Structure 1
Amino acid sequence: MKLRVLGSAAGGGFPQWNCNCAQCSAVRSGSSSHRARTQSSVAVGGPDDWLLVNASPDILTQLQRSPALQPARGPRDTGIAAVLLCDGQVDHSTGLYMLRERGAKLPLWTTRPAFEDLSEGNPILRVLGHYCGVDWHEIGLDGRSFEIPGVADLKITALPLESKPAPYSPHRDCPVPGDNIGLTFENTASGGRVFYAPGLGEITPPVWEAMIRADAVLVDGTFWTDDEMIRLGFSTKTGRSIGHLPQSGAGGMIEWLGRLPATTRKLLIHINNTNPILDEASPERRAVEAAGVEVSFDGLEIAF
């Protein structure tokens, strides 16, 4: 079984279409130390049937670059057996529009708060009702694992994360459990586990326990510093205030990852275009690599 990174960037991708920061400008100029990336999404399963985890606005490009997700078993076919969303954010749900040609209802797994976000605040699920439609399954937060029909040997456990729902969420100012979740994927044949949390604002005890038990962790790499967007003049908000734990500094993601067993594979995903670790020649990137942490890229695969 594999987890394939379809997209490794945060919202807007890399380079972001309207951004002229040093990072995005470097990609456009052909810098050899900067690699373009699409927006955060992964697929889990294989060899023919997969669970799509988060449907980014770049889903069509990602599918074109991933032949395994198009097994071509018939005139119309897809390797996507189902879709699971970690939250109701635009960056993780807009790609659902691109899957509207499906010949049957799209099996979709979300928490109830994310379902509300996408039915009321941003009613994409109602729009899809005019096309393929959606067969919705609720993800529980009671710690019990579940399986996805059509994806063999995969067991999933979800846990709520400390983060924030989308700006259009009915509970934007009053976050509730299930606005954002982390996922443990377990290969029931091999026993291998991967913990996945692209949006992570705090390492709570349940999150830490899930990370320790995993063979690989793929976690929030949005910002290098908490005030990154403020210093660059792009925002007035800190990373933590919008639900992202920065990598550097006391209590940052790199420090937490350093406490994991040496055998754990450690990777960052959902990396913002302003984050200096995207420059493979930067001191920040060297610091990450020295800590034994990988920076994920589009096309990277984890076998487990």
Structure 2
Amino acid sequence: MQIRVLGSAAGGGFPQWNCNCPNCSGVRQGSINAQMRTQSSIIVGNGSPDWALINASPDVLTQIKQTPVLQPARQMRDSGIAAVVLMDAQVDHVTGLMMLRERNSPLPIYATQQVFDDLTAGLPLVKTLSHYCTVEQRLISPEQENFSIPELTGIAFTPITLSSKAPPYSPHRHDPHPGDNIGLLMTDITSGKKAFYAPGLGVIEPQVEQAMRQADVLLVDGTFWTDDEMISMGLSSKRAIDMGHLAQSGPGGMLEELASHSTKRRILIHINNTNPILREDSPQALQLKALGIEVAFDGMHIEI
């Protein structure tokens, strides 16, 4: 099983278009040791020309241009994107679907009923997209053991229910439902090796802990370094946990959780533009390096 990181930043990317925080202004000016990043998304494949796109970022066209395997050129119009899997209905994970509208074959989209509901009513992307290409809705049940994608033989996908936030346009934004957000435990059936992917993770619940213990590679929420990061910078009144993200530092933070998985490959993804770990020589980034925890970057290739 192969995983490629198309985008490693949180919503807005890095630098964020309207942000002049020290990170964003520094990377624009070239005055800090950091690299630009697009909004989070990965692809998963089995060595064939076909891949599953996990979340469709608004930056998907740029990401495709930077990822030659997604343009295999087997025919006049072609794509290596065999299917799309949506883990939630957040804007930064779904609006890239509209950029795939020129597809000349039905677009299979795997998502929970809650996500399809939000993308039919609150943000009607599925209806809009159906005017351009046929959408095949393939339902993921949060309770199901696993699902497969026919074009990706040898890979099993297991949905893991997460406690996070439905998008602001969801009718149950403040009334969480199972299926609003999922993580994915992905298994290479031949080798038995597994990767756990959860770019939005607010609470380490028993089912999440179990998935993390099973996995050989952890690709998890790296949005904020501190819970009050946005408040302390004067950018928001919300804490990380209020936005459905578990901060890395502090008691019960992501670093504390990852300490119990020290024998595995551990990678932080979905990194907010304010997070000091984006500066590769910051004390926080050096702390991660000393702990053996990686920071995802666009183009990162993971072989399992």
TM-score tier by shorter-chain length is: over 0.9
Specify the alignment match of 1:103 in structure 2. 104
Counterpart AA for 1:56: S
Residue 248 of structure 1 is matched in structure 2 by 249
Secondary structure at 2:209's aligned position in 1?
A: helix
CA contact (8 A) 1:49 1:151 kept: yes
Corresponding pairs, count: 303
Q: Could you tell me which residue of structure 1 aligns to residue 222 of structure 2?
A: 221
With 240-249 and 29-38 compared, the bigger mean Cα shift is at 29-38
Residue in 1 aligned with 2:299?
299
What is aligned with 1:167?
168
Aligned to 1:50: 51
When the two structures are superposed, what TM-score results if normalisation uses the length of structure 2?
A: 0.98
- Tell me which residue corresponds to 2:196: 195
Q: 1:32: Cα distance to partner?
A: 5.4
TM-score (ref. length: structure 1): 0.98
Contact kept in structure 2, 1:86 and 1:110, CA below 8 Å: yes
Query: Which structure 1 segments of 5+ residues have no match?
Result: none
Q: CA deviation at 1:141?
A: 1.4
Residue 85 of structure 1 corresponds to: 86
Asked if structure 2 preserves the Cα contact closer than 8 Å seen for 1:143 and 1:159, the reply is no
1:116, 1:170 within 8 Å by CA — same for their partners in 2?
Answer: no
How much identity, in percent, do the aligned residues show? 57
**Paired residue secondary structure (2:260):** coil
The answer on whether the counterparts of 2:58 and 2:94 sit within 8 Å (CA) in structure 1 is yes
What residue is the counterpart of 2:5 in the other structure?
5
Structure 1 ranges of 4+ moved more than 2 A:
none
Distance verdict in 2 for CA 1:64–1:280, change over 3 Å: same
* Counterparts of 2:249 and 2:290, CA distance in 1: 13
C-alpha change, 1:47 and 1:31, in structure 2 (3 Å) is farther
CA contact (8 A) 2:23 2:32 kept: no
Name the counterpart of 2:280: 280
Q: SS of 1:251's equivalent?
A: coil
Q: Match of 2:118, as an amino acid?
A: D
* Per-residue Cα deviation, 1:78-117 (whole angstroms, up to 9, x for no partner): 0000000000000000000000001122100001101111
Q: Distance in 2 between matches of 1:246 and 1:158?
A: 23
**1: CA distance between counterparts of 2:263 and 2:134?**
43
Match of residue 36 from structure 1: 36
Whole-Å separation in 2 of the counterparts to 1:130 and 1:283: 50
Structure 2 residue identity aligned to 1:15: P
**Cα RMSD over matched residues?**
0.9
Give me the whole-angstrom Cα distance separating, in 1, the residues matched to 2:115 and 2:31. Answer: 38
- Which residue is 2:127 aligned to? 126
Is the CA contact (8 Å cut-off) linking 1:53 and 1:86 kept in structure 2?
yes
SS of the counterpart of 1:218? strand
Deviations 1:254-282 (A, max 9, x none): 1100011x321000000000000000010
Q: Which amino acid aligns with 2:201?
A: L
Contact 2:186-2:194 within 8 A present in 1 as well: yes
Preserved CA contact (<8 Å) 1:8 1:41? yes
Q: Output the CA distance in 2 between the equivalents of 1:217 and 1:157.
A: 14
Unaligned runs of 5+ in 2: none
Q: Deviations over 1:196-253 (max 9, x none)?
A: 0000000001101100110000000000000000011110000001100000001000
